[in-house]
């Protein structure tokens, strides 16, 4: 596929002052044509009221810059865990609120980490996740939940096709459920990314490729099969630049957003206070299909 056809962006902020308008501005500053955000701090439950005027201003700016609202992604907070029966009611009601917020903002997709079994068995956790999704998914709202493929850290659910398949098969509203791939997580879970088409074949056979609605693009600090989940900047990790480029330009995922969640870069090893977003430079490298040896230097110097 051509670079002009790439739908590519990164994780961006969602500030109290500018809300969605600020997110659009940040995405544009990276040369992106899509983006992903949390509607509030992912680690707590504080949520500010949404300002419709800012949302309309954001829509205007998106229109002027050919950003397609239907490709924007919200990430659900990571404090919820539908697999933890002890906290089930809280997770369900908080996610219902997040779907409501996504719907108010006009956002169609919400990425969710399926959950972790913690002190329960995998079967109990899977059933709890399925029950939760069947309560949350609402056919009156145009919001689809995308289950993220996980690295399999600790008791995480969703690091195998079998687990994702079981959840999707048992979810009632099939048009409200999908999958978000994450290259770092796939790699850490042991998938051979040098043979990404074979993975897509398996995915298609087990679940159906049409369920893939988003892909997170990250390199990995660890080795394949490590089950670690630590993201690295594009081309600086163990997946490598060329493998990631082949995935990004894969025709079979042509119409879905590619979202970078790579780490901010610190000014130096001694100064971890000042950190800079890498996305402008990574998007540029991806469009040029050429790794830039001066990547870290350029990010730090804001060149
Ligand atoms: Fe995630
Ligand atoms: Fe991710
Ligand atoms: Zn991750």
Q: How many angstroms does the Cα of residue 231 sit away from the middle of ligand 1?
A: 11
Pairing of strands 219-220, 144-148: unpaired
The answer to whether position 294 is within a domain reads no
Residues 171-175 have a mean pLDDT of 96
Range of the domain at 34: 3-261
Residue 268: its pLDDT value, please? 80
The answer to whether position 281 is within a domain reads no
Ligand number nearest to the C-alpha of 227: 3
pLDDT tens digits, 118-129: 999 999 999 999
pLDDT tens digits, 221-234: 999 999 999 999 99
Residue 46: its pLDDT value, please? 83
Pairing of strands 219-220, 231-232: antiparallel
* Helical H segments across the chain, by residue range: 19-29, 52-64, 88-105, 122-136, 161-170, 183-189, 196-206, 241-248, 279-288, 295-301
Locate 265 and state its tokens: 């870069």
Rounded distance between C-alpha atoms, residue 54 and residue 59, angstroms: 9
Q: How many domains are contained in the chain? A: 1
Ligand number nearest to the C-alpha of 111: 1
The answer to whether position 69 is within a domain reads yes
pLDDT reading at 178 higher than 80 = yes
Q: How many angstroms does the Cα of residue 110 sit away from the middle of ligand 3?
A: 16
Residues 176-189 have a mean pLDDT of 98
Ligand number nearest to the C-alpha of 113: 1
pLDDT tens digits, 28-80: 999 999 999 999 887 888 888 999 999 999 999 999 999 999 999 999 998 89
Q: How many angstroms does the Cα of residue 111 sit away from the middle of ligand 1?
A: 7
Q: How many angstroms does the Cα of residue 51 sit away from the middle of ligand 3?
A: 30
What is the band of 269 on the pLDDT scale with cuts at 50, 70, 90?
A: confident
Question: In CATH, what number is assigned to the domain containing residue 186?
Answer: 3.20.20.150
Q: How many angstroms does the Cα of residue 72 sit away from the middle of ligand 1?
A: 15
């Amino acid at each position: 596929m051509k670079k002009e056809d790439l739908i590519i962006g990164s994780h961006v902020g969602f500030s109290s002052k500018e809300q969605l308008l600020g997110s659009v501005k940040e995405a544009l500053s990276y040369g992106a044509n899509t983006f992903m955000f949390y509607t509030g701090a992912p680690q707590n439950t504080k949520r500010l009221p949404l300002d419709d005027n800012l949302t309309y201003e954001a829509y205007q700016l998106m229109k002027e810059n050919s950003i397609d609202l239907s490709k924007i992604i919200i990430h659900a907070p990571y404090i919820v865990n539908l697999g933890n029966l002890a906290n089930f009611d809280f997770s369900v009601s908080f996610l219902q609120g997040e779907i409501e917020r996504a719907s108010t903002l006009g956002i169609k997709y919400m990425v969710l980490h399926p959950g972790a079994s913690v002190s329960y068995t995998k079967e109990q956790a899977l059933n709890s996740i399925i029950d939760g999704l069947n309560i949350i998914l609402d056919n009156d709202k145009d919001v689809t939940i995308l289950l993220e493929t996980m690295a399999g850290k600790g008791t995480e659910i969703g690091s195998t096709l079998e687990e994702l398949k079981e959840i999707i098969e048992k979810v009632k509203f099939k048009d409200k459920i999908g999958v978000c791939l994450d290259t770092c997580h796939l790699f850490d879970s042991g998938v051979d990314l040098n043979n990404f088409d074979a993975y897509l074949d398996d995915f298609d056979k087990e679940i159906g490729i049409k369920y893939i609605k988003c892909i997170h693009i990250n390199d990995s600090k660890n080795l394949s099969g490590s089950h670690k989940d630590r993201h690295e900047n594009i081309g600086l990790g163990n997946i490598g630049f060329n493998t990631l480029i082949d995935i990004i330009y894969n025709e079979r995922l042509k119409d879905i957003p590619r979202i970078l969640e790579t780490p901010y870069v610190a000014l130096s090893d001694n100064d971890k206070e000042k950190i800079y977003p890498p996305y402008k430079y990574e998007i540029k490298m991806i469009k040029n299909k050429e790794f830039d040896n001066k990547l870290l230097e350029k990010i730090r110097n804001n060149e």
